Amino acid sequence: MKTTRTRRDFINTTAMAGAGLGLGIGKTLAATSSPVTPSANQVPKRGIPSWPTFDQREDQALLEVLHSGNWGRTRGHKVEDFERAYAQMTGAKHCVATSAGTTALLTAFGALGVGPGDEVILPVYTFVATFNAITAGYALPVFVDTDPETFQIDAKKIPAAITRSTKVILPVHIGGSPADLDAIGSLSKARGIHVIEDACQAWVAQWRGRGVGNTSLAGCFSFQASKNLTAGEGGAIVTNDEEFADKCFNFQNQGGGRRATGSGRGANLRLTEFQGGLLLAQMTRLEEQSRIREQNAAYLTKLLGEISGIKPARWHDGCTRNAYHLYMFRYQKEHFANLPRAKFLQALSQEGIPASGGYTPLNASPHVRSLAKNPCYQKVYGKETMSQWEERNQCPVNDQLCTEAVWFTQPVLLTVRPEMDRIAETIRKVQKRAPEFTKA
């Protein structure tokens, strides 16, 4: 049985370099990394930096909130300041902060009135939180297969997944690269279906020069610990629809606070003032860090594109900025003497290049599959619909992609250019010695 891998699993996998695949061309990760010390915010001279980065800006922000005694947003102004700054950065008219990316999605669904009987279309190549945000309100998730070139939802396959019950299309900008928002926007208009973007990995990403979240009803972001903009946890919704923003505000604030028709639903999903302060401090270096990632990623793509059997993820034509939460490529083992991907990852890891195989098929995870037997779902949708649901969710292209994908997480790009040369050189050396590694 395949299982969905958590962030912790990825870390375990990449850290568990086995014996016998050392290339001997570098030192181990521990030796080559030069962790950024808490007080530093410059890129390291070599190696992969630790994450997050912080300095006296964060110290000051946290101490200011601490000493103000205004620790929650009901009394302070840091969260509101952050909402204004984040709306401005993304180009949206409104921003509502939430306690997490998952709760940003929950809030957007709550504000839109998505609930039992509604279907939500999502890509199968995503983090489990996308699915959980849908099922928290008893809507039915409907998976769509992946475009292997871009790793994003295959927009051509969305029409076949639409039914009379489809309420929302939820594209995910996986890795920070926007899904095909032109195709999804056209479908939305033609079929009268709302689009909410899961932009939890896509803070600075742009589609035809506009920040993600601006071409649809809303975009939802995450500021969880691994993210390029982080407060440990946190989230936000951006939208250009004032009434929708008010509804989102009320939903994350126990149902009230702003002018908007109530729905009888809501919760405390508020961001704290400490997180608001931290995010404002983190935002002061987001642009510079994003540029470093973009430059390194562009250079790495050029280098890796020259290696047979390595296929960097392509951008959709409308993508004008990639937030690079992940650097993703396909590893085709036929070009590496059939060296299994796990051994390829191991070889990189032993040379101080942390890499993972990314997501396993979400539709095959025990957590997701158990929805078919969930008594509440059987009550709302009927036993027959739920027993056919798994069949409806087959995604064969994604199954294949999940066997080939390789990820570098964002800190790998937040370093100096020679590190990109080192990555490409290491992959070339693995390729050269693949016949011997395959036998090992």
Ligand X SMILES: Cc1ncc(COP(=O)(O)O)c(C=O)c1O
* Among positions 101, 178, 266, 277, the unique one binding ligand X when judged by CB under 6 A: 101
- Closer of 14 and 224 to ligand X (Cβ): 224
Stretch that binds ligand X, among 11-19, 125-133, 145-153, 245-253 (CB under 6 A): 125-133
Q: Which is nearer to ligand X, 124 or 427 (CB)?
A: 124
| Contact status: 224 vs ligand X (CB under 6 A) | yes
Write down the least CB distance from residue 145 to ligand X, Å: 17
Q: What is the C-alpha separation between 51 and 38, in angstroms, rounded?
A: 10
- Point out which span in 194-202, 244-252, 266-274, 352-360 binds ligand X (CB under 6 A): 194-202
Q: How far is the CB of 98 from ligand X (least distance, A)?
A: 9
Residue list 233-272, contact with ligand X (CB under 6 A):
235
Buried b (16+ CB within 10 A) or exposed e, 333-369: beebeebebebbbbbbbbbbbbbbbbbbbbbbbeebe
Work out whether 98 is an interface residue with ligand X (CB under 6 A). Answer: no
Q: Determine the Cα–Cα distance for residues 334 and 380; give it in Å rounded to an integer.
A: 47
Q: With contacts defined by CB under 6 A, name the span among 198-206, 251-259, 399-407, 423-431 that binds ligand X.
A: 198-206
Q: Which stretch binds ligand X (CB under 6 A): 65-73, 96-104, 210-218, 283-291?
A: 96-104
3-class secondary-structure state, position 199: coil
Beta carbons within 8 Å of 186's beta carbon, 6+ residues apart? none
Q: How many residues bind ligand X (CB under 6 A)?
A: 14
Binding of residue 172 to ligand X (CB under 6 A): yes
Q: Which of 120, 409, 178 is nearest to 315 (CA)?
A: 178
- Does 198 contact ligand X by CB under 6 A? yes
Told to check if 129 binds ligand X by CB under 6 A, we report yes
**Cα three-residue angle 358-362-368, rounded to 5 degrees:** 145
Distance of alpha carbon 29 from alpha carbon 350, whole angstroms: 7
Residue 215's SS3 state is coil
Q: Which residues bind ligand X (CB under 6 A)?
A: 100-102, 126-127, 129-130, 172, 198, 200-201, 222, 224, 235
